[in-house]
Structure 1
Amino acid sequence: MMGATQAAKAEAAAYPLKKISPQEVAVLLETQRPIAIIDVRSLPDFKAGHIPTAESLPFELMMDAMTHTMIPDVNKVIVVYGANDKMSKEAGQKLCDFGYKNVYYMPTFTEWVGEIVVIGPAK
């Protein structure tokens, strides 16, 4: 019998993390509802500018229970992005490990080509 950790890893492998371009994210925002956009950068960076409808979930705060409170539907399409490719990919993989089935990562916020929402100064 598989242990709980092995079972979770096997399930995550069944729903692999997928890379998505900023242009594809823009199309998803226009055509697909519901979709969750998760910004894993710091809160000051999020306030300084983020993708419309994005929610802030700083990378260091990503925990299974907190994430499932924010996004209870594991079948929801989720796009995650961070300050760089490594952060984006690691955050996306965490979401897959938490049991989410439709996770995409956009390599970095700096690649975003659409509207940027600003809600405060950076720092």
Structure 2
Amino acid sequence: MNLLQLNTYMAHTKILGLVAIVISLVAWTTDVTGMVYICPYCRAQRTVIGLLGLILVSPAAKLWIVKYIGLVIGFFGATVAANQHFMGWKKISAGTFEFKENIVIDPFLLSGFALFGIIGLTYLLLFPSESKTNEH
């Protein structure tokens, strides 16, 4: 298994879907227990990650309508993540940017990771692996 090959991820979409669900649940647990501050951007992103994970593990992920719904959900989540991340770049440009004291919950870093994850999950949902396309 080569982690630098796209085919590795495309062959294991169900595992990645489960990982996305776990990430979403852990993130929601930190929110519900009050370990992190209330952030509507973060809530939207963690929900989208979980929903995309559920779609990826679902057998219905092969249906065009489910792919379309996943695309809409993914586009929404990526837009929210990009907006939150851009606010950090705006602060950098203004010279007012500072990382949170607890860097693990820094919104600039988390929104960047969420943006990468959401786009990756959406890609895996929309494009079948080469081995699947060669069968048809």
**Is the shorter-chain TM-score for this pair beyond 0.5, marking a shared fold?**
no
Greater share of helix residues, 1 or 2? Answer: 2
Q: TM-score, normalised by structure 1?
A: 0.27
Larger of the two Rg values belongs to structure: 2
Query: Would you tell me which structure has more strand in proportion to its own residues?
Result: 1
